[in-house]
Amino acid sequence: MSGNAKLLHENVWDQDPELMDLIKKEKQRQLRGLEMIASENFTSLSVLQCLSSCLHNKYSEGLPGQRYYGGNEFIDQVELLAQKRALEAYRLNPEEWGVNVQPYSGSPANLAVYTALIEPHGRIMGLDLPDGGHLTHGFMTPTKKISATSIFFESMPYKVDPVTGLIDYDKLAETAKLFKPKVIVAGISCYSRCLDYKRFREISDANGAYLFADMAHISGLVAAGIIPSPFEYADVVSTTTHKTLRGPRAGVIFFRKGVRSVKANGDKVYYDLEARVNQAVFPGLQGGPHNNAIAGIASAFLQAQTPEFKEYQEQVVKNSRSLCAGLIEKGYSVATGGTDVHLVLVDLRPAGITGARAEYILEEISIACNKNTVPGDKSALNPSGIRLGTPALTTRGLGEQDMEKVVDFIDRGLKLSKEIAAVSGPKLVDFKESVHKNAQFVPKVKALRDEVELFSSKFPLPGYEDY
C-alpha cells in the first residue's frame, strides 16, 4: 500500500492516537457523568452513521434541482426526503407549509429568518435573555449589543412578571403597540412553561407583525404531540434538531405558503416567504449545505414519527416534573413554580448560592448543567440560577425514581458548595482553589463524585461502543 493510500484508509485510532485518546476520554465523561444541560442530548447510532458517511464529501450549493454543481442526483433525493419527513413529523400540509433543511444550526437559522422577513434595522421583539429568551432573539445590554440580531436589527425585549415568572402578555401587547415590531418572536431558551401561541398571534395581528416561533428547545415535544404546537398560529417556525428532537447538530426553518390574508374587497394576499427564506439561507448567509447533517435530519424525523419517540418525550416531561418536585421538596426555589416541558430553572438566590459556584461544584461531582440568569438578574455574566434538563438522562433510560436519586446528588452538591464558600470567601477563584486543594473538602468532593459516577455508569449510551 502506498503512503497516500495508507493515509487515506488508516483508522483514526492508529493514525492519530493522541486525538483518539481525547475522544475516548470524552466518551467516558459522557458515560460516567449525568448530562443535565437542557440543550444537549445523545443522538442515535443511525444519525451518527449519517454524519460519518460519504455524503460529507459532496458540494451542493442551491436547492434540489437547482444546484450550482453537478453530481447531485442522490444528494437531491436525500434533501427532498428530509423535507418530506420534516413536514410529516409535525403533521403539516405541504400545500400550506414549506421547509428548508440547510441551516447549519439554530442561530444561523434565526438570522436567516430575520434576513428573510425584514430589512436591516427592522424592529423585532423577543423574550429578554434574563427572563428565559435566547441570544438570537435580540439580546443587548445598556452598553453593548451582544447578539448579531441586536446589531443588525432594532430589538425591544418583552419580559416575564417578576413575581410569577410567567410571560406578561398584557405588557407585551402594550409595548408592541408603541414599538410596532415587524417580527414578534415566540421562543425560549430557559422558560419552563408552554407558550400561549394564540395570544402571540393576536398581538402580532394587532401590529401587522410576523409571528416567528423558535421551537428549538421543545421541537421533540411538539413532534410527539404532548405540548401545544406553534404551527397553528405562526408564520415561520425554526428549530434546531439536536435538543429534544435528538438528531444531528443542525437547524430547520418552516415557512407558511398559500393565503396570508383577505382584503376588504375580497382580494387574497399570498405568502411570499418561500423564496425569501430560501434565498436568505443561500446565497444570503451560507454556502454549501452539510449533506451528512441533512441525512441525519431525515433519520431523526423518521424516528420522531414512531410510538417509541412519543413514549420517550412523555418520559422527558415526567422526569422533568419529578426533578422539579424533588428540588422544591428540598427547599429550592423554581422559576414559575414548576415546569411543563423538559427543563427546570432553579433560582439559587434564596439558598445563598451563586450560579457560577453551583455549576462548578456540580461539574466537579460529574453533573453537567449550566449557570443561568433568572428573572430579576442584572448581569448575564454573573447569574443567580442554574438550568437543568432531562432529555439526555431520559435517552439513557432514567425514570422518575432515578430522578429522585439525581435530586439527592444535586442537593448534596449544592450544600457542599455552601460549606466550601463559607471558608473560601466571596471570590470564585478562591472557591475553585478550595475545591481542589483544601484538605477538608477534597475527599468530600471525590466521594460524592465517585457515588455519582457509579450510579451514572449503570445507564447505557447510544452510539458507538468505544467512541
Residue 76 reports pLDDT greater than 90: yes
Tell me, what's the pLDDT at 142? 85
Rounded distance between C-alpha atoms, residue 359 and residue 37, angstroms: 11
Determine the average pLDDT of the residues in 74-90: 98
Tell me, what's the pLDDT at 381? 75
Task: Output the nine-digit C-alpha cell for 167.
Answer: 410571560
Q: Tell me the per-residue pLDDT of 151-176, one tens digit each, with 9 for 90 and over.
A: 999 999 999 998 899 999 999 999 99
DSSP state of 40: -
Binned at pLDDT 50, 70 and 90, residue 376 comes out as: confident
Residue 432 C-alpha from the chain's centroid:
29
Q: Tell me the per-residue pLDDT of 23-67, one tens digit each, with 9 for 90 and over.
A: 999 999 999 999 999 999 999 999 999 999 999 999 999 999 999
121 is catalytic: no
Contacts of 370 (CB under 8 A, 6+ apart): 37, 38, 359, 386, 387
Contacts of 68 (CB under 8 A, 6+ apart): 61, 62
Mean pLDDT score of the chain? 96
For the chain, the domains span 54-304, 307-457
Binned at pLDDT 50, 70 and 90, residue 140 comes out as: confident
Rounded distance between C-alpha atoms, residue 327 and residue 332, angstroms: 5
Q: Considering 190, 217, 290, 369, which one is annotated as catalytic?
A: 190
Q: Do domains 54-304 and 307-457 have the same CATH topology?
A: no
Cβ contact 333:345 at 8 Å = no
Rounded distance between C-alpha atoms, residue 223 and residue 237, angstroms: 13
Task: Output the nine-digit C-alpha cell for 451.
Answer: 457515588
Residue 77 reports pLDDT greater than 90: yes
Distances (CA, A) of 21 to 13, 18, 109, 256: 8, 5, 34, 47
Q: Kindly state the helix (H) or strand (E) to which residue 394 belongs, with its residue range.
A: helix 391-395
Distances (CA, A) of 293 to 46, 62, 251, 288: 12, 16, 9, 12
Determine the average pLDDT of the residues in 87-96: 98
Task: Say which range, 250-254, 271-275, 305-309, 377-381, has the weakest mean pLDDT.
Answer: 377-381
Percent of the chain with pLDDT over 70: 100
With H, G, I as helix, E, B as strand and everything else as coil, classify residue 229.
Answer: coil
Determine the average pLDDT of the residues in 221-236: 98
Binned at pLDDT 50, 70 and 90, residue 365 comes out as: very high
Q: Considering 134, 137, 217, 242, which one is annotated as catalytic?
A: 242
Q: Which regions of 327-446 does DSSP assign to beta strands (E)?
A: 333-334, 343-347, 367-368, 370-372, 385-389
* Nearest to 246, CA basis, from 64, 394, 67: 394
Tell me, what's the pLDDT at 262? 87
Tell me, what's the pLDDT at 3? 78
Tell me, what's the pLDDT at 321? 98
Name the CATH code of domain 54-304 (choices 3.40.640.10, 3.40.50.300, 3.40.50.10800, 1.10.10.10).
3.40.640.10
**Residue recorded with cell 412523555:** 314
Domain 307-457 class? alpha beta
Residue 4 reports pLDDT greater than 90: no
Determine the average pLDDT of the residues in 421-425: 94
Tell me, what's the pLDDT at 311? 98
Triad 143, 147, 150: Cα angle to 5°: 70
Residue 2 reports pLDDT greater than 80: no
Tell me, what's the pLDDT at 463? 94
